Structure 1
């Protein structure tokens, strides 16, 4: 897998400047997410945040379909991208992540997540969304994020 050139900090949201993901951004500094993905995101003109990645063989299970754990990892990442503005720069942890698997995803498909913040107040943000594979719904999700102060190493 070749890594797309990026512009940005060592930790945080960085812009991809070349290749399939030019014009998108990705988070750098999360070792697990970088290994699972990388996952990309962009904000559309209407403020909607889209997250995406390209399904590779390494994301598949023994039956040749995307592993459910991979889809859940992507969904967990996506809720934070969808809620980025509602988070107001705070760090957060996932309190709840629910999902309904709708259809299998396959190698080569473009996996995208879109959603919305249903409610945000105080330290809690509620998100719902849909993950698609080449535009076909594959996972419905809902999540709850709890804002936390500071980062712990």
Structure 2
């Protein structure tokens, strides 16, 4: 879809991954940078590389940046599951528990699973990891966009 606000296609830098990136870098998603996504064993893996702009004063990924990543990971995962297209869906709730710290410059991955899909809702949960280190757990509900009249 050429009028999509997102780029979603093979990632030339990460074979086996899809690149998921907002075309307009001035929107919030642009702050996170390009994400990569792939499906493995029924879970969506959503990957980003935290940069200095995502760091806190302890040289770890700031909690706000992690929350933003978790939120966007819900949508990247839902797109990968084929449950939504770009635009129109909204987050109804997002709950997070911070567990560990990260290293800036090293990839972090959200492992997202779809718990249930209804006509209008997606219920998902996930873990954010850096290698074997669990950084956070989260769950969220996404309301699909309304059909166009």
Q: TM-score band (shorter)?
A: 0.7 to 0.9
Cross-structure match for 2:146: 149
1:42 equivalent to 2:41? Answer no
Aligned residues: 142
Question: Could you state the TM-score of these two structures normalised by the residue count of structure 2?
Answer: 0.81
| Deviations, residues 18-74 of structure 1 (Å, cap 9, x unaligned) | 33x344221333521122222221223x34321001122221012211100110011
Change in Cα spacing, 1:13 to 1:57, as seen in structure 2 (3 Å) is same
Instruction: Identify which of 92, 98, 105 aligns with 1:101.
Output: 98
SS in 2 for 1:149: coil
- Checking the alignment, whether the CA contact within 8 Å between 2:38 and 2:44 is kept in structure 1 is yes
Aligned to 1:79: 74
8 Å Cα contact 1:66/1:107 also seen in 2:
yes
Q: 2: distance between equivalents of 1:53 and 1:147? A: 24
Distance 1:88 1:59 in 2: 28
Unaligned runs of 5+ in 1: 1-7
Quickly say closer, same or farther: Cα 1:128–1:17, change in 2 above 3 A.
closer
Q: What's the TM-score once normalised by structure 1's chain length? A: 0.79
Instruction: Tell whether the 8 Å contact from 1:60 to 1:106 is kept in structure 2 after alignment.
Output: no
Deviates more, 1:119-128 or 1:92-101: 119-128
- Structure 2 runs not aligned, ≥5 long: none
- Contact 1:82–1:127 at 8 Å: present in 2 too? no
1:18 and 2:12 equivalent?
yes
8 Å contact 1:16–1:26 — kept in the other structure? Answer: no
The one of 49, 53, 61 aligned to 1:58: 53
State the partner residue of 1:70: 65
**Post-superposition offset of 1:88:** 4.3
CA RMSD of aligned residues (A): 2.4
Change (3 A) 1:83 1:13: same
